[in-house]
Structure 1
């Protein structure tokens, strides 16, 4: 009798933990993708929820371009794709934060217009 109650309690705890993890997965996915952008001179500051990355665009940016995506339910969104000299790439989309996209687009268009690749 005691073993059966212990097994039932353990099973209930395991199932509850699995359900909670499944409910938290979408939240973790969107938090991970959330980034705030800051600009200081030619330095791009990417503030992620758990870290901060600083990129000197004058030294590291090779080229950038704007791409357009069409989602059936959400409409048209744009993405700035930046390619760096070390081969890495960063994308900033207007899908989740239009303010970040507009800030970065205006900055790149004013300071690094010569590095923009045609679409």
Structure 2
């Protein structure tokens, strides 16, 4: 029974130490944009997605936080119902790069945030 308590204490301590590392790794994503191909590189995995083939829609979302102030996020929907989001507060460089590329080349796939649901051509 004593060993069980020791094992539980070790697991709790390991969980407390691993949680901040997990949060950091989850938020640290780098973007590489080459033509219509974007690669999301994180410390755990990397994923390449084609804007031409896979991007269904995108939008800019605005949120107000008490401590952070106004924060913007680009939410992108890809084929296979996959979603990616890039935040202007945590990843400002990636946000600016991605917003420029999406606004220049894929403006027709942008969804107005005031629209109620998908339009008829996006179903």
- TM-score, normalization: structure 2? 0.80
1:33 aligns with 27
Determine whether 1:108 maps to 2:102: yes
- TM-score, normalization: structure 1? 0.82
1:3 aligns with none
1:96 equivalent among 87, 90, 93: 90
Instruction: For 2:26 and 2:96, locate their aligned partners in 1 and report how far apart those are by CA, in whole Å.
Output: 21
Once the 2 structures are TM-superposed, how far is the Cα of residue 97 of structure 1 from its aligned partner? 1.1
Determine whether 1:118 maps to 2:112: yes
Determine whether 1:68 maps to 2:62: yes
Any stretches of 5+ residues in structure 1 without a counterpart?
Answer: 1-6
Query: For each residue in 1:15-74, what CA deviation from the matched residue of structure 2 results, as whole angstroms up to 9, or x when unmatched?
Result: 355324313312212212211001011001100112110000011111110000111011
RMSD: 2.0
Instruction: For 1:61 and 1:16, locate their aligned partners in 2 and report how far apart those are by CA, in whole Å.
Output: 45
Say how many residue pairs are matched: 113
Once the 2 structures are TM-superposed, how far is the Cα of residue 95 of structure 1 from its aligned partner? 2.4
Any stretches of 5+ residues in structure 2 without a counterpart?
Answer: 114-123
Query: For each residue in 1:59-118, what CA deviation from the matched residue of structure 2 results, as whole angstroms up to 9, or x when unmatched?
Result: 111111000011101111111011123222111111211001111001101110111111
